[in-house]
């Protein structure tokens, strides 16, 4: 009897490898790239991780050896990231740039409300398991309200019309403007000082007139938002920290 044997495909590469330094273990995301000619490491501040890129025909053993050779560099970069802050009772989180204390009151009514205190309080009602979702949803609504007001103000200043305004949880950009005029922003801008949110709104509104980053665009952005340099500097220095929360 003749039997046909199918050649089984090799198992897929792991998407992560681990590097140890003493008692600590550091996960590294691995990516094969057609354009890669060598092994490289980079830190993604929004995702708060390290990515190792390698050629398509590269060896995972070589990749791991490369990562281990640079383990000190990896550890130093990751140590710069502060610990994540979960949305939980007692945690400190910024709201419009001001630290607030999350306070859980299961017997309370509604979802989230603000109360005076030192620091001010973010009071979240309902069952504890629902606290992170309720607070996140509330922050998104706050962000959308602030962004809509800023967008309307900047559009009125230059006679521009915009499409729908929405908020998302993007890791690679703070805002975007589509060719149809739809504007999208990261809800995490509500955690930043108001002048930063205002700058991002002005930035995307300016794209309604100049869909580029030309000198004309930056002049228009500066006209709409005189504190553009300060906001850009704040985002460069502190933007990655906004991804710590929640």
Residue 37, SS3 per DSSP? coil
pLDDT in tens, 159-173: 999 999 999 998 779
Query: Do residue 59 and residue 146 come from a single domain?
Result: no
Tell whether the model's pLDDT for residue 9 goes beyond 60.
no
Tell whether the model's pLDDT for residue 188 goes beyond 90.
yes
Mean pLDDT of 32-49: 86
Query: Do residue 61 and residue 141 come from a single domain?
Result: no
Nearest alpha carbon to residue 62 among 50, 52, 49:
52
* pLDDT value of position 4: 52
The residue ranking higher by pLDDT, 75 or 53, is 53
Mean pLDDT of 137-148: 98
Q: Report yes or no on 180 lying in a domain.
A: yes
Tell whether the model's pLDDT for residue 81 goes beyond 50.
yes
26: pLDDT confidence band, cut at 50, 70 and 90? confident
Distance CA 125, CA 147 (A): 26
1: pLDDT confidence band, cut at 50, 70 and 90? very low
Beta-sheet strand order (sheet of 40-44): 16-21, 24-33, 49-55, 40-44
User: For residue 180, what are its two tokens?
Assistant: 């149809």
Q: Report yes or no on 87 lying in a domain.
A: no
Distance CA 75, CA 57 (A): 27
What is the domain range of residue 150? Answer: 133-244
> Looking at 14-28, 83-97, 156-170, which range is the least confident one?
14-28
* pLDDT value of position 180: 95
* pLDDT value of position 15: 81
Query: Do residue 140 and residue 239 come from a single domain?
Result: yes
* pLDDT value of position 13: 59
Query: Do residue 211 and residue 146 come from a single domain?
Result: yes
Tell whether the model's pLDDT for residue 45 goes beyond 90.
no
Tell whether the model's pLDDT for residue 78 goes beyond 80.
no
Percent of the chain at pLDDT > 90 equals 70
* Number of domains the chain is built from: 2
Among residues 50, 79, 108, which one ends one of the domains?
Answer: 79
Would you say the C-alpha torsion 73, 74, 75, 76 has a positive or negative sign? positive
Mean pLDDT of 24-52: 86
């Amino acid at each position: 009897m003749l039997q046909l044997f199918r050649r089984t495909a090799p198992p897929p590469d792991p998407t992560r490898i681990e590097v140890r330094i003493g008692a600590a273990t550091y996960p590294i995301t691995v990516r094969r790239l057609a354009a890669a000619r060598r092994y490289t490491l980079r830190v993604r501040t929004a995702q708060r991780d390290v990515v190792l890129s390698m050629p398509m025909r590269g060896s995972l053993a070589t990749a791991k050896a490369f990562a281990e050779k640079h383990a000190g560099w990896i550890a130093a970069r990751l140590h710069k990231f502060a610990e994540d802050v979960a949305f939980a009772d007692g945690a400190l989180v910024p709201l419009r740039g001001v630290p607030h204390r999350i306070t859980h009151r299961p017997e309370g009514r509604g979802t989230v409300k603000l109360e005076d205190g030192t620091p001010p309080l973010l009071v979240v009602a309902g069952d504890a398991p629902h606290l992170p979702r309720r607070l996140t949803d509330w922050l998104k609504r706050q962000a959308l309200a602030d962004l809509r007001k800023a967008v309307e103000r900047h559009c009125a200043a230059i006679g521009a019309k915009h499409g729908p305004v929405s908020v998302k949880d993007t890791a690679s950009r703070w805002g975007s403007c589509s060719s149809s005029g739809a504007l999208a922003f990261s809800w995490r801008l509500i955690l930043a000082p108001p002048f930063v949110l205002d700058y991002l709104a002005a930035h995307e509104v300016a794209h309604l007139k100049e869909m580029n980053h030309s000198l004309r665009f930056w002049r228009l952005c500066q006209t709409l938002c005189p504190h553009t340099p300060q906001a850009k500097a704040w985002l460069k220095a502190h933007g990655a920290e906004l991804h710590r929360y929640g």
